[in-house]
């Protein structure tokens, strides 16, 4: 029955289910958890894991859950301590913890991510995806949700009427599925209190973000544990309460920190008959257009070339190939070796239509893998992609075997592809990947300086069609 506008109306509405689950561990009644009635095996195992009673699936000899009687019967290899000090936790459902820590040391959280490694947009995106997944809350409210991931897409997701239960469920499912949570991001719909921070520390979580506020004790505990603690994640903003240094800083001028821009400018340009990087278009040389876009985005820009004298007027470092005459892959290798940052964004010198929004989109995914590469109608675009120094060993192995194709080293590293739909959202005409290989294409480029001509060959296709280049590009 609903009262509205001075009248009662008959309405149907979903009601949150509340389910008491008794935990019998080694024939000893340990606790009663008040929770939502689904996937109780994850809840029970996660609870035991986060109390420190188990750490691997092998610690469990048997597990049985009877929903009809609200009982989880578990037998462990090790005995439960005789004397336990229970603490009733705050929040919906009123949880219970044993051995609630008052102090934590950073060394206890071995899984924290490296400083300045988390993109704030990843936090916002993960929270937005949590909201989309939390359909129970939208239907009847009263349900908390949580998710963990290292990207915007949740790897594990849980709902429960108790916010602390959501983390127990995630811990249990991760244990069953063999998912390592160290260094992951945790987003939650509920308030962050000390028991949430303590549980996250045991899992090696690097960052906790909530739609609402943390408690003062949670802030202090997160500070001790080395966990980044964020609250009030709403819209496009949030507040940071502990260890802000883990979040990647955006420069006041909008540049992207932690990534070096690399221009590959050493190809022989045999079909063009002259150095393509020096060709004029729209009032400047190809390489000038590319360098200008790079400096808008990155604090450090490098040109990989074996002819540095050609670019004396461009105020950046020029570095040679280390593997001389091995093509574009050798250029990427040189850029990685000489860059001050761990990651580089690579573009060929004959791609004058770079799109800063697309480059930012790729950089937004930089934490996901060793290689972040966009898709196009022609396939992958390795000469418009991000590479991490982790790739160096695999690239050197590939070059040492006499192989030149960039994609040949991909099976040895982690590769993340940015879908063509995401590319089209910021560059619908696909101009970013167009390069100029022949005098005819250059003439057409001059006539259509806005770049609306028909698609040209990608840089990778050009690299494969010309053998024996002395450098990258």
As a dihedral over the C-alpha atoms of residue 355, residue 360, residue 362, residue 363, rounded to 10 degrees, the angle is 140
Q: Distances from the Cα of 67 to the Cαs of 19, 64, 136, 142, in angstroms?
A: 9, 10, 21, 22
Note whether 30 and 24 are within 8 A (CB): yes
Q: What are phi and psi of 123, to 5 degrees?
A: -60, -45
Catalytic residue among 66, 92, 316, 349: 92
- For the purposes of burial, counting CB atoms within 10 Å of the CB of 180, is it exposed (0-12), middle (13-18) or buried (19 or more)? exposed
| 264 marked among binding-site residues | yes
Distance in angstroms (rounded) separating the CA atoms of residues 182 and 159:
21
3-state secondary structure 134-145: CHHHHHHCCCEE
For this structure, is 92 an active site residue? Answer: yes
For the chain, state the CA radius of gyration.
27
| 175 marked among binding-site residues | no
Q: What are phi and psi of 168, to 5 degrees?
A: -60, -45
| 457 marked among binding-site residues | no
| 265 marked among binding-site residues | yes
Binding-site members are 264-266, 276, 321, 350
Q: Which residues are catalytic?
A: 92
The annotation places the binding site for Mg(2+) at 350
Annotated binding-site residues for GTP read 264-266, 276, 321, 350
């Amino acid at each position: 029955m609903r009262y509205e506008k001075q009248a009662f109306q008959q309405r149907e509405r979903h009601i949150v289910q509340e389910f008491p689950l008794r935990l019998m561990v080694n024939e000893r009644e340990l606790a009663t958890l008040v929770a939502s009635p689904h996937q109780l095996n994850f809840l029970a195992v996660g609870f035991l894991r986060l109390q420190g009673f188990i750490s691997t699936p092998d610690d469990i000899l048997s597990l049985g859950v009877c929903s009809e009687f609200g009982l989880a019967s578990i037998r462990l290899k090790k005995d439960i301590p005789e004397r336990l000090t229970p603490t009733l936790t705050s929040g919906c459902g009123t949880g219970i913890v044993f051995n609630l820590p008052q102090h934590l040391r950073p060394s206890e959280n071995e899984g924290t991510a490296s400083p300045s490694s988390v993109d704030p947009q990843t936090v916002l995106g993960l929270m937005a995806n949590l909201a989309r997944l939390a359909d129970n809350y939208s239907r009847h409210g009263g349900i908390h949700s949580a998710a963990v991931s290292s990207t915007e897409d949740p790897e594990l997701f849980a709902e429960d009427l108790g916010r602390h239960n959501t983390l127990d469920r995630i811990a249990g499912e991760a244990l069953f599925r063999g998912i390592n949570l160290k260094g992951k991001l945790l987003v939650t719909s509920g308030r962050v209190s000390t028991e949430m921070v303590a549980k996250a520390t045991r899992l090696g979580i690097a960052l906790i973000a909530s739609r609402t506020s943390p408690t003062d004790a949670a802030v202090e505990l997160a500070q001790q544990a080395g966990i980044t603690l964020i609250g009030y994640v709403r819209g496009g903003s949030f507040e940071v309460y502990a260890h802000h240094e883990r979040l990647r800083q955006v420069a006041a001028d909008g540049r992207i920190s932690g990534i070096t821009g690399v221009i590959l400018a050493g190809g022989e340009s045999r079909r063009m008959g002259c150095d393509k990087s020096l060709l004029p278009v729209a009032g400047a040389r190809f390489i000038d257009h590319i360098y200008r876009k790079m400096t808008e985005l990155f604090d450090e820009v490098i040109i990989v070339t074996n002819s540095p004298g050609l670019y004396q007027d461009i105020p950046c470092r020029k570095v040679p190939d280390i593997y001389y005459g091995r093509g574009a892959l050798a250029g990427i290798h040189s850029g990685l070796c000489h860059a001050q940052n761990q990651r580089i964004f690579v573009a060929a010198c004959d791609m004058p239509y770079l799109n800063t929004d697309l480059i930012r989109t790729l950089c937004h995914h930089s934490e996901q893998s060793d290689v972040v590469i966009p898709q196009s109608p022609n396939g992958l675009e390795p000469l418009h992609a991000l590479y991490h120094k982790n790739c160096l060993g695999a690239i050197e192995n590939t070059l040492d075997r006499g192989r030149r194709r960039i994609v040949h080293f991909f099976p040895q590293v982690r590769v993340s592809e940015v879908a063509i739909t995401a590319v089209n959202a910021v560059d619908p005409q696909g101009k970013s990947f167009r390069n100029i290989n022949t005098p005819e294409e250059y003439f057409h480029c001059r006539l259509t300086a806005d770049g609306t001509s028909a698609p040209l060959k990608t840089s990778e296709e050009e690299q494969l069609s010309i053998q024996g280049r002395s450098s990258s590009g």
